[in-house]
Chain A
Amino acid sequence: MSKENEITNTDSTAKPQRRMLLQASTMTLAGAIFSMKKASAAESALPLPKNIVLQPPQHNPSSEYLFAITATISAPFEVGPSSQGIVRAIPITGGTVEGKGIIGRVVPGGADWQLSRTDGVTELEATYAIQMDDDTYIKVINRGIVYREEDKPAYFRTNVHFDAPSASQWNWMNEAIFLCKAQGHPTLENAVLIEVYRLI
């Protein structure tokens, strides 16, 4: 995409005809969401459009499994209570990357910085590198949350961001949103298992 395209794309000096068409297509979205909550809408003085109703989109996003990162870790150390919660770091000491056509290792020396908030949610931010079997290094920043409620499996989901060299076969890692399921490794001690999915 050229920058010129992007600029004209967001130019709002549209032909009125076209704009009307756009609005008309919006208006035809039918459903019950707005009418469902009519009572509460009437109580508020907000300028909600009266005749526009929304229904769930025709499509739902999906995800595609790509590879798993097994990261070995050593004992956490705690910075302690800060203004937002308890801050700790978990050193990342190594590990493996495995998937279809993907083999690599976790480069020792990163860390997962965590913040345990007062509302019970722990935020994670792990920064490290992986090295693929063609020797390419890729920077990894994995941010997400863990939330444990009684009688429920922990909610442990993250959004991982890669920085891969543009000229490499790994450039596709720069071009999508990636999500992870994460958990303590089911079979290895002192390791976490991170399954990486592409948001389609």
Chain B
Amino acid sequence: MATPIEFEWLMTAHVQVRRPIQIGNAQYGYRQAVPIGDGYFAGPSLRGTVIPGSADWQLIQRNGIADLDVTGAMLTDDGVTIRVSSKGMRHGPPAVIERLARGEVVHPNEYYMRAVARFEAPEGSYDWLNKALFVSWGERYEDKVVIHYYKVLGDE
């Protein structure tokens, strides 16, 4: 009983990010949006490009945890457009977050950047994405993010 939940790699995405649009301190914390630029993704059963133009709406809470919330679209190499919506968080020891802030390359194991992802794929060859839960494991670099997506596996 209570054997761990397991995961299966779905894809890895490389996405350029731009300068944040800063709202500033508002009722929930410090609000900003990081615009999503070009990108691409690949995995065993899907690959293609990220459609630029969405943004990661971030909320830096008073406890230092950054809430991440991005909804965007991806285009597979066989021409299917899929919505992806990802909500999660990034946090770590202050010294590590400061190194990230200076633009240093920090090993992603030193901070916690995780999210739960849901897809909306049109009926057809990718609609299996609509029928499971996915998580993501993020790596933050100076002007890009690398996001690994995994399916949350069910019982065998």
Contact = CB atoms under 8 A, between A and B. Distances in A.
Interface of A: 1-15, 18-19, 21-22, 25-26, 33-34, 37, 40-41, 43-44, 46-49, 52-54, 56-57, 59-65, 68, 119-121, 144-145, 147, 153-159, 166, 174-177, 179, 181, 195, 197, 199
B143 A12 contact: yes
Report, nearest first, the 10 A-B pairs whose CB atoms are least far apart: A5-B101, A155-B154, A3-B30, A1-B64, A9-B101, A63-B5, A65-B2, A1-B97, A12-B143, A153-B155
A179 B5 contact: yes
B133 A159 contact: yes
A49 B40 contact: yes
Contact of B132 (A26, A48, A153, A155): A155
Contact of B66 (A6, A46, A57, A145): A6
Contacts, number: 187
Given A7-B20, A68-B2, A199-B135, A121 B101 contact: no
A84 to B, nearest CB: 12
A79 to B, nearest CB: 22
A177 B114 contact: yes
Given A9-B101, A21-B105, A157 B142 contact: no
B133 to A, nearest CB: 5
24 contacts: A1-B60, A6-B60, A7-B32, A12-B142, A22-B143, A26-B146, A33-B44, A41-B77, A44-B77, A48-B40, A52-B40, A60-B150, A64-B4, A65-B3, A121-B131, A147-B132, A157-B5, A157-B132, A166-B63, A174-B63, A179-B152, A181-B5, A195-B2, A199-B135
Contacts of B77: 37, 40-41, 43-44, 46, 48
Interface of B: 2-7, 9, 12, 14, 17-20, 22, 25, 30, 32, 34, 40, 42-44, 47-49, 58, 60, 63-66, 75, 77-79, 88-89, 91-92, 94, 97-98, 100-103, 105, 109, 112, 114-116, 123, 127, 130-133, 135, 137, 140-144, 146, 148, 150, 152, 154-156
A176 to B, nearest CB: 7
A196 to B, nearest CB: 10
Nearest to B3: A65
B154 A18 contact: no
A197 B47 contact: no
Contacts of B14: 26, 52
Nearest to A23: B144
A87 to B, nearest CB: 18
Given A10-B34, A34-B47, A119-B127, A1 B94 contact: yes
Contacts of A181: 5, 155
A2 B25 CA distance: 12
A46 B2 CA distance: 44
Contact of A25 (B63, B102, B105, B114): B105
